[in-house]
Structure 1
Amino acid sequence: MIKTLKGTWLKEWDPEDPKRWDPALAWRTLWITTFNLTLSFITWYVVSALVVRLPKSGFPLDTTQLFWLTAMPGLAGGTLRIVWTFLPPILGTRHLVTFSTLLLLVPLLGWGFAVQNPNTPYWVLLLLAFLAGVGGGNFSGFMPSTSYFFPKRLQGTALGLQAGIGNFGVSVVQFVTPWVIGFALSSSLLGSSQTFTPKPGVSQPIWLQNATFVWIPFVLVGAWLAWTFLRSVPVRANFREQLDIFRDKHTWIMTSLYIMTFGSFSGFSAIFPLLIREVYGKFDGAPDPLRYAFLGPLVGSLARVMAGPVTDRFGGAIVTQVAAMGIFLSALLVTLFTRPTSLEQFPFFVLAMLLVFFFSGVGNASTFKQMPMIFPPRQAGGVIGWTAAIGAYGPFIFSTLAAYTQKATGGFTAFFYGLMVFYALNLFLNWYYYARKGAEKPC
């Protein structure tokens, strides 16, 4: 057993050698980093939970502007993930997780003050939405650094647990937000209430700032835990050395597969509330989007956690193949309910969307099992970070394409048809390179 709690950098570490691996430190790293990753996802998706309340709280925003607010965290998350991809071998786990967690305070505090004034300029809201993407960027630093701590036989389970539980942050913030904004957290210390008008002639007080202020104590605790109990493994590489992953075609194939899985999860998580609002909001007694939107990311996150051990047993490629088929067929099912004639179709729309979330969650776990099997450890960490970075553009891509499709066609059916073409392409790529008998990289 090696000594682990003196200094920042461990002198030696090899998960494949029991004499040079400390499982207690590995699992402690997983749980602390996962706690901070959950807070990162909460910060990343708090905008999606807030936007559906802004128009009726005095903010003069149209539908296109709302979709752009949900798009900006995705744009930032993907871009920042590209940067965070290269940080684990440079900064090490301890410094990376600690300081990345503290960065979450910037958008949380910013949104907490901005939503208290309906006259806050739209460009300020866009900037704050972009800064919320810091939470998305953290994923590409946290996941690769955690992968260094576990042997290949446990990578599917470990990464499935971390990413799956971290993904719960999306559901948590979409579930907690409508509750916590309904009362004053500490008298007027955190600001006064705003006026929410759910329908003409009816108004009630609302505390939008609570949606972000409530998470600040947790962020401070998470940063303290990371600094106190985390250490960094001796996997070092400068920026230039890490660029070798881009010369391997499998980096790009896995990137496409991860866009199909996590891109769908992150993209639909961002726009699900607005989809409900736009597709079914025209009917009398229309459903409150936030009463249902959290179910999608919840199902996807649970699927990711449960699929991790399954991929360790059966292999990532075959599970990805099943996930790709499931996403394709579920998207087809959704199109049957995107032009509804009554609210009776709403439960079927939600069910079809939950199937999309389920299979995307399964695919999130299986693709992360494939990458450590295809690449050596340092490259695998880089590829995990890179694919996660591109997949994080999901909220931006899905939000902008959904807004454009609605404006051009008056609905969202064509949006789902376009996604199905992309899903079919990835179904073939995974089968040809990884899942079929005699595949180039069976995994």
Structure 2
Amino acid sequence: MTMTSTSQAEQTPESTAVHARRTGRWIDDWRPEEPEFWAETGQQVARRNLIWSIFAEHLGFSVWLIWSVSSAFLLSVGFSYSPQQLFLLVALPNLVGSLLRLPYTLAVPKFGGRNWTMVSAALLLVPTLGFAYAVQNPQTPFWVFCLIAATAGLGGGNFASSMANINFFYPAAKKGTALGLNAAGGNLGVSLIQFFLPVIVGGAGIFGLVKAGEGGINLERAAWVYAGLAVVATLAAYFFMDNLGTAISKPREQLQVVKKPQTWIMAFLYIGTFGSFIGYSAAMPLLIKLNFWVPEPAPLGTGIYFAYFAFLGALVGSVTRPVGGWLADKYGGAKVTLAAFGAMVFFTLAVLWTLMQLTPNPTKDPTIATDNQSWFPFFLAFFLCVFAATGIGNGSTYKMIPAIWRHEAERDTTPGTAERATALLAANKQASAAIGVIGAVGAIGGFLIPIAFSAPWVDDPMSATKGAFVVFTAFYVVCAAVTWFVYLRKPATVKATSLAGVGI
């Protein structure tokens, strides 16, 4: 599809070569900032691409986190893995997903948003079909499971390319809403996979309203469902999405942001917010199972069954993300981020306090689960507050990133000049590139958190979990201090190059 093709007189040899390689559904005339064009043509096209982008990204997040729930079922279907091994299976997709976010961001201008959505959706067949093969054979070696779990990280890269693609479709005044909907739709994939997978595989779910399957648990069912949805997403992108010929940016120019200290400061803070969200989301099913449930008597055991509650954390974190953006618009991104880290410190300590009351649960003694069960409401309530704070922090940090680059452009130029206009345009491009880098680094937290809970150097799983929460609390204190020192403190003399005290 080409709305208005570039005229032959305007085509350079380079653009002619690019057009020669194109195969349909390219839009070369795209002017979202012009009200008439947007009202007559752009809005409808952008909305259509947004809808199918949300679907593909949502599916990517679901596949990314499929191991977060399924790992808790592996022991029930005949696999003999230690808690450390299970947490490793949960962590590996997050590591690969974080590493793929940057190349996925760069792929959109290179190949086209529609084309890359097709490719990234089709690639989800690798982890889903591999999953279906592995879980049906109890003799599958652990290293094979690790390899297949790592390929689930392909779904984690979808967020970066999806956000980069939709960013090109919308005018500046509407980017916030569009990107917010795109991000929230993807994040909800974490909650829905944790909500529906137990039902699909016959392991029960929906607070016990659905009974466990009489034929036992069949984990491969979930793989077949999501493999089918990956095919649907690929075909939907082919038939309903578009490439933008105007979405051009050179990787070398985009990667200039890695030289700026602000990129790494914000990446550090994003590890604390999004890294915590995705890491806790991945680990929560196992945390509930290991500490509040024992498998006797079969089939559902005694204590708190993780499948009824594991999805709530990701749901709360997803819903509160737009709230963080709204609060940041009203009060300033740095202030909201600081408050979010303060809440994370307090409620992480509260979660740790509930764990201190539990009896270690390494056996099949139902009395242990019964004793621990009374503390579960406190554990869940405090943990959901942690999730809420991570969601708010996700929204506020994303608000801070473009504000930082805009402030630096305004600080170094004179209002009303051509130099100011050029600087603001460059700042917008750099902020977009920075979001890709920051998102990639921040997602590494999704790997570090499950690894900290597994702590293979600690023999007792309960001790490893408690130690992990102590480390996380200290990290959030450091994040809060960095936020205040860099963006909020008001020294007697603020240097011209400083961002402190500007209320970003």
Do these two structures clear the TM 0.5 threshold for a shared fold by scoring above it?
yes
- Shift of the 273–237 alpha-carbon distance from structure 1 to 2, 3 Å rule, reads same
Q: Does the aligned pair in 2 maintain the 1:145–1:381 contact within 8 Å?
A: no
Q: Which residue of 2 aligns with 1:378?
A: 429
Q: Which residue of 1 aligns with 2:366?
A: none
Q: Which residue of 1 aligns with 2:340?
A: 323
Q: 2:248 aligns with which of 230, 233, 236?
A: 236
Give 3-state SS (helix, strand or coil) of 1:119's partner: coil
Q: 14-23 or 378-387, which moves further after superposition?
A: 14-23
Q: Distance in 2 between matches of 1:15 and 1:251?
A: 28
Q: Distance in 1 between matches of 2:382 and 2:280?
A: 12
Alpha-carbon offset, residue 238 of structure 1: 2.9
Q: Distance in 2 between matches of 1:208 and 1:241?
A: 45
Alpha-carbon offset, residue 362 of structure 1: 1.3
Alpha-carbon offset, residue 60 of structure 1: 1.8
Q: Distance in 2 between matches of 1:316 and 1:23?
A: 29
Q: TM-score, normalised by structure 2?
A: 0.78
1:420 aligns with 2:473: yes
- Shift of the 320–219 alpha-carbon distance from structure 1 to 2, 3 Å rule, reads same
Q: Which residue of 2 aligns with 1:53?
A: 73
Q: Distance in 1 between matches of 2:116 and 2:401?
A: 22
Q: Distance in 2 between matches of 1:76 and 1:366?
A: 25
Q: 10-19 or 94-103, which moves further after superposition?
A: 10-19
1:250 aligns with 2:262: yes
Q: Does the aligned pair in 1 maintain the 2:5–2:28 contact within 8 Å?
A: no
Alpha-carbon offset, residue 277 of structure 1: 1.9
Alpha-carbon offset, residue 425 of structure 1: 1.9
1:281 aligns with 2:293: yes
Q: Distance in 2 between matches of 1:136 and 1:123?
A: 21
- Residue pairs, 1:99-178, within 5 angstroms: 99-178=119-198
Q: Distance in 2 between matches of 1:317 and 1:267?
A: 23
Alpha-carbon offset, residue 159 of structure 1: 2.1
Q: Does the aligned pair in 2 maintain the 1:261–1:360 contact within 8 Å?
A: yes
Q: 1:262 aligns with which of 259, 269, 274?
A: 274
Write the deviation string for residues 238-266 of structure 1: whole angstroms up to 9, x where unpaired.
33222201111111111112111110000
Structure 1: give runs of 5+ residues left out of the alignment.
Answer: 184-197
Q: Distance in 1 between matches of 2:269 and 2:445?
A: 13
Q: Distance in 1 between matches of 2:294 and 2:153?
A: 31
Give 3-state SS (helix, strand or coil) of 2:216's partner: strand
After superposing on structure 2, the runs of 4+ consecutive aligned residues of structure 1 that deviate more than 6 Å are none
Q: Distance in 1 between matches of 2:326 and 2:72?
A: 37
- Shift of the 306–272 alpha-carbon distance from structure 1 to 2, 3 Å rule, reads same
Alpha-carbon offset, residue 306 of structure 1: 3.8
Question: How many equivalent pairs are there?
Answer: 425
Q: Does the aligned pair in 2 maintain the 1:159–1:308 contact within 8 Å?
A: no
Q: 2:450 aligns with which of 399, 407, 429?
A: 399
Q: Does the aligned pair in 1 maintain the 2:25–2:242 contact within 8 Å?
A: yes
Write the deviation string for residues 10-60 of structure 1: whole angstroms up to 9, x where unpaired.
334454443564233333222211111110011001111111111121112
Alpha-carbon offset, residue 417 of structure 1: 1.7
1:65 aligned partner, one-letter code: Q
Larger Rg: 2
Q: Distance in 2 between matches of 1:224 and 1:46?
A: 22
Give 3-state SS (helix, strand or coil) of 2:50's partner: helix
1:63 aligns with 2:98: no
Q: Which residue of 2 aligns with 1:189?
A: none
Q: Does the aligned pair in 1 maintain the 2:3–2:29 contact within 8 Å?
A: no
Q: Which residue of 1 aligns with 2:350?
A: 333
Alpha-carbon offset, residue 237 of structure 1: 2.5
Write the deviation string for residues 217-243 of structure 1: whole angstroms up to 9, x where unpaired.
322222222222322331322332222
Q: 9-18 or 90-99, which moves further after superposition?
A: 9-18
Alpha-carbon offset, residue 273 of structure 1: 1.0
Q: Distance in 2 between matches of 1:249 and 1:420?
A: 25
Q: Distance in 1 between matches of 2:124 and 2:477?
A: 37
Q: Distance in 1 between matches of 2:449 and 2:187?
A: 18
Q: Distance in 2 between matches of 1:126 and 1:50?
A: 13
Q: Which residue of 1 aligns with 2:216?
A: 205
Q: Does the aligned pair in 1 maintain the 2:84–2:456 contact within 8 Å?
A: no
Q: 2:482 aligns with which of 414, 418, 429?
A: 429
1:271 aligns with 2:283: yes
Write the deviation string for residues 305-353 of structure 1: whole angstroms up to 9, x where unpaired.
4444444444433332222222221111111111215321111001111
Q: Does the aligned pair in 1 maintain the 2:61–2:155 contact within 8 Å?
A: yes
Alpha-carbon offset, residue 299 of structure 1: 0.8
1:301 aligns with 2:318: yes
Bigger relative contact order, structure 1 or 2 (CA pairs below 8 A, ≥6 apart): 1
Q: 318-327 or 16-25, which moves further after superposition?
A: 16-25
Q: Distance in 1 between matches of 2:167 and 2:350?
A: 36
Q: Does the aligned pair in 2 maintain the 1:4–1:231 contact within 8 Å?
A: no
Q: Distance in 1 between matches of 2:45 and 2:108?
A: 17
Q: TM-score, normalised by structure 1?
A: 0.88
Q: Does the aligned pair in 1 maintain the 2:271–2:442 contact within 8 Å?
A: yes
Give 3-state SS (helix, strand or coil) of 1:407's partner: coil
What's the % identity of the aligned pairs? Answer: 38
2:243 aligned partner, one-letter code: S
Write the deviation string for residues 69-101 of structure 1: whole angstroms up to 9, x where unpaired.
111101111111132132222222111212111
Q: Distance in 2 between matches of 1:396 and 1:4?
A: 45
Q: Does the aligned pair in 2 maintain the 1:107–1:132 contact within 8 Å?
A: yes
